[in-house]
Amino acid sequence: MAEFLEDPSVLTKDKLKNELAANNVPLPSGEHKKEVYVQLYLKNLTVLNNKKSPPADTFSSDEELPAPVVSNKSRSGRKATKKTDKPRTEEVEVTDLTDEDLKQQLAKHGVDSGPIVATTRKLYEKKLQKLLDQPPAEPEAPTDVTALPKADSNQNGNTNSDQYSDKEDEEIAAPEPEPVPVVEKPVRSRGKAPVTSRTSSRRQTKVVEEIIVEETPKKASESVVEDILANEISTPTGISATCRRPIRGAAGRPVKPSEYWLDESHVQHTVLTETRSYSESFSRPGSSISSSKAPARRGVLSLLLKLLLLIVVGGSLYYAYQNLDADQINTLKGLVDSVVVPLQGAVENAATYLGISSSSNGATESAGN
């Protein structure tokens, strides 16, 4: 089969354009009738066809035949027969590719291709063709974007993990040894030789262990706080999965059993922190009890106040009662006076007259009362 059609008018206008463009034939600017492209095709491509005709002679049958040939090719030598493979493929490049190359090209463009076999190859060729030339600007930028993140994500993942593990190592090794200078040297010397997460975890646990043994928990928490701060400063995002571990482990925060590490030291440590947190939680209820006692005391106080008030009221009442008695007496006395005074005056007059004032006084008083 010839590479270019003898009668290009069977092709659609778009296909004509594509073929012309693919073969570096300058297209007239703007839109034209199909006839224009057909003429261009005949002039530029069909002429080439005649030059190439000797090798293409062997496939001078119509389109029906190449299909089985393709299936044979996909299994056997591809490159030799590929060039004369399909009459309608726009670019020789795509059809020239081997299965693996085609797959790689597709992968480059972000297409996750399945197996490229006889029945699927044509489709994938088309797809790649579309990706390659249909919108040359658009898909390639996105495909680059899609292709790059893959590599980047890997790199990022690697570098990040390295970074984090490294930094954790150094920062745990650096700030913590300050309080414990004895620990510092072995840790550092170990820390710089192998940089893997495994060793880092080992070192961490060792450091933590030594902290537990040698330091007070306060110091540990302080140094760990320093760690956190250092980590946050050093990591650009401030987000790192690993730097939270020491926080829970060392900073005296309550540690859930699910977050235990397998290391004994850490378990011990967490137990320590747990006991601490327990003590805290116990002390907290105590304080809360005292705070709850405060209202109770207030109740007691109010009771006492009430009692006091009662006593005061009672006392005042009693006092008033007593006073009232005196008053009553006074008033009574007043009454008595008002009633008795004339009588008394008369009696006194009579008594003074008779000379028995005192006795008569008592008599009048008894009478008045």
Which range of residues in 23-31, 102-110, 118-126, 335-343 is near other proteins by CB under 8 A?
Answer: 118-126
Q: How far is the CB of 123 from other proteins (least distance, A)?
A: 5
Q: Where are the alpha helices (DSSP H) in the chain?
A: 13-22, 34-41, 47-56, 66-75, 79-82, 92-96, 99-108, 118-133, 140-173, 181-192, 197-214, 217-234, 245-250, 264-354, 357-368
Read off φ and ψ for residue 302, nearest 5 degrees: -65, -35
Number of residues that bind other proteins (CB under 8 A): 12
Cβ(200)–Cβ(168) under 8 Å? yes
The correct pick among 126, 150, 293, 306 for binding other proteins (CB under 8 A) is 126
353 close to 345: Cβ distance less than 8 angstroms:
no
**Distance (Å, whole) CA 33 – CA 4:** 20
Of the listed pieces 44-52, 110-118, 158-166, 172-180, which binds other proteins according to CB under 8 A?
Answer: 110-118
- Coil, strand or helix at 193: coil
Closest contact distance (angstroms) between CB of 138 and other proteins is 18
Give which of 304, 251, 247, 246 is closest to 276, Cα–Cα: 251
Would you say 23 or 146 has its CB closer to other proteins?
146
Contact track, other proteins, 60-99, x by CB under 8 A: -------x--------------------------------
Find the binder of other proteins among 26, 112, 198, 237 (CB under 8 A): 112
Residue 123 within binding range of other proteins, rule CB under 8 A: yes
Q: Chain centroid to CA 177: how far?
A: 31
* Binding segment (CB under 8 A) for other proteins, from list 92-100, 116-124, 248-256, 287-295: 116-124
State the Cα–Cα distance between residues 231 and 238, nearest whole angstrom.
7
Nearer to other proteins, 126 or 202 (CB): 126
Residue of 83, 122, 188, 245 that binds other proteins (CB under 8 A) = 122
Binding site for other proteins (CB under 8 A): 67, 112-115, 117, 119-120, 122-123, 126-127
